[in-house]
Structure 1
Amino acid sequence: MILTNLMESHTEDSLTDIASRVYHEYDLTVARDIMKSICLNSPSSEIQKTGMEYLYMNAYFRELDQLIEKNRESINPSNRLWGNIYRLMIDLFNQHTSPDKTLHYLDYFKTRYTIKEPEITLLIKLIRETCFYYKRNYRRLGDLIATYETHLDEVKERILVNFFKVRIYRFYTVFHMARNELIIARKYAYKALNINESILLEAAIHSHLGLSYTFDTYEKGMYHLKKAQQISQKHNIRLYKHRVENNFIPLLSGKFKKVDEVQSMDKAEQAHLEVARGDYDKALDLLETVRIETPLQRYYLGLAKQDKDILIQSYNEFILNNNDFFYSRLPLEALDL
């Protein structure tokens, strides 16, 4: 009844207007549930488009999948384009397609469509940045940072502006963290959290904050990683929960040698934990089953073998391949021991 009344009495309202009323009149949990239903059931073509961003940022993945398909089947060309772009984005998020294929598809969309909507222009840029982030190409993350304000100024829907800002601040956090500019990175992380618009990125931002303490304080780092774990578990964000539990917490725990009851399904992280426990032979046995593809995995191998040449190689890969001056400190620190 609430949903019907809202949709019938506010047929011309934007998603921002409806959200403002709903969040004012109901508690947060009820408001999000109402907004989820409005996004999924509204007859408005505009809300069908902007609703996808709301569902994504609030981790309503099942409903998002339904709304994406509704847009892709729309008679409205704009809705079909939005639906196709969000399908591409969510397939990347769910690891159903690779960053390289996603970049290729984005180029295809740009050649096939004349894109005049600033929201889609910015969304495509955000997906590109996500691809570079997944590829650990932190040098390329600066592309969006240099131009985002111009694009945001052209987006009229206020709720989208806030969602896009959170996404951009997340990339700021990653970019400055990779440059080892931790004060700036944490500043943008807290700016993102203060907007308080996204369950999904709240978990991600806490993960970045937690890992930013890798060389500082175990307690502060673990506080944020546990927050990320709790958010992911509460809202069933399985991919984030898996990464926090199997990669981030073991990494921080192994670094500070606080490994009691810490486990991981990731063989490389298991090896790191064994190094922290002093069992180098077991660590090497585990790493024999791992295809060493990243500087971090090579760092673990260098630790397990106590091999300075491997650690130097890891350092060079962090710098030359990833432009990552933060995690390059791991092998550099190990070389000093």
Structure 2
Amino acid sequence: MSAVLKDFRDSKMSLYAVKKILVKMHDEKTAMILLKDYCLESTTPEARHHGLELLLMNGYYEEFETLLNINKKSIFEEDRVWGKLYELHYRNLRHTLSDSDMLMELKKIAPLNEEQECFHTFLKIYSNYEMRRYGVWAFLNEKLSEGLSQLQPSLLLEFYQMRSKEILFRYHWRKNELIIARKYGFEIINHRQISPTRMSRVHIILALSYVFEGYDQSVYHLNEALKLAKKFELPKIEQLVKQHNLPFVSAYHGVPEGIETDSLPEQAHLAIARGDREKAIKILSSFETLTPFQKYYLGLAKMDKQLLVQSYNSFVNEESHYFYARLPLQALNHMNIGGIR
């Protein structure tokens, strides 16, 4: 295999072409490892640029940092621009750069080609999405779609299309457009060429998307996320599922037996499911301010219409989360206390 890869490098074969060959010769996991090595050992501009995306999307963070530094220190301006863009993205992912600062920094960077323009747009989309500026997000997403349609087939384009699907998956779930959201979610899972962390997060959102339809479907996807977390040693994902997602789903469906959590709001939710409303009220009343979820839980515990209406309004007006807004709305309907105006 090393001789074959050497021939590929000597002929300066593109990452896109090499990947097509490797996935036919090996399983996807092995193919991506070989492609990672090929990318780091190749000296072509494509390997320096598209390799950043390959390494980051597959969770090869140490190798990504190595290639990032190569681009940042390059004598070529195009390399340095790629380095600046991916450094901003990486800092934002690691929470050392805020979304508002990201947007300010992006104003200082002028993309040199269509590929950089698309990634520049991706970064603006991410920041505006997190800042809940959905009007700007929609405009940028349309611009991105047009930009991607202009790119030639490449490994970079494949990953950018996957990024676009991730964005649309989250957006349509948030808008309570579940058929569309799940379509993108299953396309991402079936692609299997993104990092275990990204894959596990897709499973978590799929699990939550099924919460109103059935316990088993939700738990299936949470278990898939846990399998990935344990196999690839992802403690943050494991904590997220065990401390927040599984308690939430279990409490909602009234099956809290054997479920424990360190999260106080989810302890309150579990207490409600166990019939101990006083415990839930005591926990939630100790908070100085309440999130939309906590208003929902306290509204359930107190059977308080006003709190449930406040929760609904917070989900819709502050969070633009129409999926989660179904929680207090459903509670109101079950309590037969009228609709929301």
Distance in 1 separating the partners of 2:98 and 2:282: 30
- What is the CA-CA distance between 1:47 and the residue it aligns to? 0.7
The corresponding residue for 2:318 is 321
User: Partner of 1:10: helix, strand, or coil?
Assistant: helix
Cα distance, 1:46 vs structure 2: 2.1
Separation of aligned partners in 2, 1:293 and 1:69: 43
Q: Which amino acid aligns with 2:61?
A: F
Partner of 1:115: 111
Is contact 1:137–1:323 with CA below 8 Å preserved after alignment?
no
- Structure 2 contact 315–324 (Cα < 8 Å) conserved: yes
1:218 partnered with 2:207: no
Shift, 1:225, TM fit: 1.9
Per the alignment, do residues 157 and 237 of structure 1 end up closer, same or farther by CA in structure 2, a change over 3 Å counting?
A: farther
Find the aligned partners of 1:274 and 1:3 in 2 and give their Cα distance.
59
**In the TM superposition, what are the counterparts of 1:1-337 in structure 2 within 5 Å?**
2-3=1-2, 6-7=5-6, 9-11=8-10, 12-107=12-107, 112-136=108-132, 140-199=136-195, 200-287=197-284, 290=287, 292=289, 294-336=291-333, 337=335
Superposed CA offset, 1:262-313 (max 9, x none): 3334332233222222333433444356564632233233334443222211
Q: Which amino acid aligns with 1:100?
A: S
The code of the aligned residue for 1:29 comes to K
CA 218–140 in structure 1, closer or farther in 2 if over 3 Å, else same: farther
- Equivalents in 2 of 1:166, 1:212: separation in Å? 20
**Cα distance, 1:148 vs structure 2:** 3.2
Q: In structure 1, how many angstroms separate the alpha carbons of the residues matched to 2:274 and 2:106?
A: 46
Aligned length: 332
Overall identity of the aligned pairs, in %: 31
CA distance in 2, matches of 1:167, 1:305: 42
Retained in 2: the 8 A contact 1:129–1:144? yes
So what's the TM-score if we normalise by structure 2?
0.86
**Cα 1:218–1:70, aligned 2, differ >3 Å: closer, same or farther?**
same
Q: Aligned partners of 1:141, 1:250: CA distance in 2, in Å?
A: 32
Q: Which amino acid is 1:163 matched to?
A: F
The Cα offsets for residues 226-255 of structure 1, whole Å up to 9 and x where unpaired, read as 212222332334444433333322222221
Distance 1:76 1:250, change over 3 A: farther
For residues 137 and 52 of structure 1, the distance between their equivalents in structure 2, rounded to whole angstroms, comes to 28
Q: CA deviation at 1:258?
A: 2.1
Preserved CA contact (<8 Å) 1:102 1:131: yes
The 3 A distance-change label for structure 1 pair 325 and 61 is same
1:59–1:235: 8 Å Cα contact kept in structure 2? no
Cα 1:141/1:7, change in 2 over 3 Å: farther
Q: Distance in 2 between matches of 1:238 and 1:41?
A: 31
1:189 maps to amino acid:
G
Cα distance, 1:218 vs. partner?
Answer: 1.1
CA contact (8 A) 1:267 1:289 kept: no
CA distance in 2, matches of 1:4, 1:293: 61
Q: Name which of structure 1's ranges 172-181 and 267-276 shifts more when overlaid on structure 2.
A: 267-276
The two structures, once aligned, show a CA RMSD in angstroms of 2.5
Residues 121 and 314 of structure 1: is their aligned pair in 2 closer, same or farther, counting only changes over 3 Å? same
Counterpart residue type for residue 200 of structure 2: A
For the pair shown, which has the larger CA radius of gyration, 1 or 2?
Answer: 2
Pair 48,335 (structure 1): closer, same or farther in 2 beyond 3 Å: same
For residues 61 and 291 of structure 1, what CA distance do their matches in structure 2 show? 39
Q: 1:211 Cα shift?
A: 0.9
Q: Is the 8 A contact 2:9 2:38 kept in 1?
A: no
* Structure 1 residue runs without a partner (length 5+): none
